[in-house]
Structure 1
Amino acid sequence: MGRKKGRDISGWLVVDKPAGVTSTSVVGKVRWALDAKKAGHAGTLDPDATGVLAVALGEATKTVPYITDALKAYDFTVNWGAETDTDDASGQVVKRSDMRPTVDQIRDALTGFTGDIMQVPPAYSAVKVDGERAYDLARGGEQLELAARPLWVEELSLENSKADTAQLHMVCGKGGYVRSIARDLGRELGSLGHVAHLRRVWSGPFDADQGVDFEKIDREAQDWLEAQLLPLEIALGDMPALRATTEGAVRIRNGNPGQVTGTAEFGETVWVGDPAGPICIGRYMGGLVHPDRVFNL
């Protein structure tokens, strides 16, 4: 039998993604540079966007569903006066407006985009429609009516305003589209708008300032790159951490409920470790944890 391709390497690498590169390309380059057997990412960034792209390697890929629920922060610039088919500067202009909002009008409008809102994703997005990606259908010329979906917007503030542009800062939950905010804000103000620049400054525990420069990701620098890896459990900071007993660790590693020390709410999702590292994510059932995902580290 042939050896499975790649190394068993686990952890997180935060990349500061440049514009003009897809999220999939970043993951592919990281996987190649580290010769990793398995890699994925937590939250796609548009090709034109920059900033935090957290790449999960090996067993860290099992923690991706838990990190995608974390809050994310974006700095972005909206250009007033035109709406595009992609809701960003890469698209074709579909409508124009001569109106320009005042600072007070922008600030007043922002209140309607905070808290629990309903948001229609851009036509050019990875949302699935009857099993197909919306952007594939949109590129094929289909007129899409995407359903609105709930979004939690923790914060949306005006950082700077000029005649034709506004710089905004947003903190939001899972599934937020900055391009939709720009589009809907432009419509609300009568000026129309699209995203000109977009940067994800942080995502959960991952910060752009700690991100590795994309150009430095190379096989020649494999040892350096490996030294930049963050531990798997950094993605689990929002859930209680419990410690397995020696016997409990053996049982959990075999997929069975095992004894732990420490407490949590009954039925709560927790992660369990021992001196060797993380063992599992599971549900706390009064002294025992029933594993959902076991880490093979």
Structure 2
Amino acid sequence: MNAPRTRVQRRPVHGVLLLDKPLGFSSNQALQKAKWLLRAEKAGHTGTLDPLATGVLPLCFGAATKFSQLHLDADKTYEATARLGIKTATGDAEGEVIAERPVHVAAEDLERVQAQFTGPIRQVPPMHSALKKDGKALYEYAREGVEVERAPRDVVIHKLEIRTISEDTIRILASVSKGTYIRTLGEDIGEALGCGAHLTSLRRIATGGFVEAQCVTIEALEAMDEEERLARLLPAEALVDGHSRVTLGTEDAARFLSGLRRRGAWADADEVAVFGTQPPAFLGTAHVKAGELIPGRLLNPIEIQQILLNAQQTEATP
């Protein structure tokens, strides 16, 4: 007879965990594993990363989930390898081979293609993607053998480096805007080289201001005790690191948290991170227009109290 499963006692956890997503895990699987290890009540991620991709996946807990959208829109950097001469149905090594062509690529070809795909470009989203059409993910249509029309998207390749690894393999390093599909980029590069290509590996090495060196693996998290896991969390305000900063006194902070606008000698700004002084705490986001601080996404008083209490307990731990 199987022993009854122990129910995990959830608790309020607030912050951002920078996870190095392992190969084969969906973003949601990685999130649920980390949520279970932290015993967190509420969690979300900042955009999906393919199961066949590894690398930087910021996970948001508690109050931090309110600001996860900010990193959905962030620029990202990827490192990929692509096999030339072979096209697959999915654009990666998992798909069946649909075409093979000889490879004759010189250094000047790589330079030409690198310049061709740097800057604003248009991409047709791949069928094997989570993008939805009539409420259904494109990959679901693809599994049924149905191809649907997809409108091209405007994206920006901020920086692109293409290097030869071997006669039929290239390394792609790309810093891109939101909505860019690296598998599609690899396929398009292969077509521009005249031989076709598919990705054999894909790793996200940066998203926004977060980089792979800051990340922790699931295996490392599993080996930690609870205090060590909590210590890996960045505060929620790490998601608004690039925002202008405004600090409010006690009375203004309380009114701001209730949704009221505040007046002050602030310059106009679209993205503002707002903090209180007593106690010193992150309150939320806002924008400033004509001297008015206009609330955006706000923490609630209970969340702020929990964050301050957790910080006190962490400081008290020897």
Q: In which range does the TM-score fall when normalised by the shorter chain?
A: over 0.9
> What is aligned with 2:272?
270
Are 2:81 and 1:77 aligned? Answer: yes
| Cα distance in 2, alignment partners of residues 167 and 6 from structure 1 | 43
* Distance in 2 of aligned mates of 1:159 and 1:184: 16
Distance in 2 of aligned mates of 1:67 and 1:233: 12
Q: Which amino acid aligns with 1:107?
A: E
User: How far is 1:183 from its partner?
Assistant: 0.7
Q: Which residue of 2 aligns with 1:218?
A: 222
Matches within 5 A, 1:251-290: 251-259=255-263, 263-265=266-268, 268-275=270-277, 276-290=280-294
Choose from 244, 250, 271 the match for 1:246.
250
1:49 Cα deviation from its structure 2 partner: 0.8
Query: For 2:110 and 2:246, how far apart are their aligned partners in 1?
Result: 47
> Paired residues, what number?
291
Matched-pair contact (CA < 8 Å) for 2:155–2:179: yes
CA distance in 1, matches of 2:113, 2:31: 37
- Structure 2 residues without counterparts, runs of 5 or longer: 1-8, 305-318
State the alpha-carbon separation in 2 of the partners of residues 54 and 215 from structure 1.
16
Q: 1:222, 1:71 → 2: CA distance?
A: 32
Which of 49, 52, 55 is equivalent to 2:56? 52
User: Structure 1 residues 283-292 or 82-91, which shifts more?
Assistant: 283-292
Q: Which residue of 2 aligns with 1:163?
A: 167
Contact 1:42–1:55, Cα closer than 8 Å, also in 2: yes
User: Does structure 2 conserve the Cα–Cα contact (< 8 Å) formed by 1:17 and 1:213?
Assistant: yes
Q: Residue type of the partner of 2:296? A: D
Q: TM-score, normalised by structure 1?
A: 0.93
CA deviations 1:24-68 (Å, max 9, x no partner) are 111001111111111111121111111101101111111111122
The yes-or-no answer on 1:19 pairing with 2:19 is no
In structure 2, give the amino acid aligned to 1:265: D
**% of aligned pairs identical?**
34
Task: Kindly provide the amino acid, as one letter, of the partner of residue 279 in structure 1.
Answer: L
Instruction: Indicate conservation of the 8 Å contact 1:244/1:259, yes or no.
Output: no
After the TM superposition, which residues 89-100 of structure 1 pair with which residues of structure 2 at under 5 Å, given as runs? Answer: 89-100=93-104
Q: CA deviation at 1:259?
A: 4.3
What is the DSSP-based 3-state SS (H/G/I as helix, E as strand, rest coil) of the residue aligned with 2:68?
Answer: helix
1:127-159 per-residue CA deviation (whole Å, 9 max, x = no partner) reads 111111111111111113221111111101123
Bigger Rg, which one:
2
Q: What TM-score, normalized by structure 2, do the two folds share?
A: 0.87
Q: Secondary structure at the match of 1:217?
A: helix
More displaced stretch, 101-110 vs 174-183: 101-110
Letter in 2 for 1:289: L
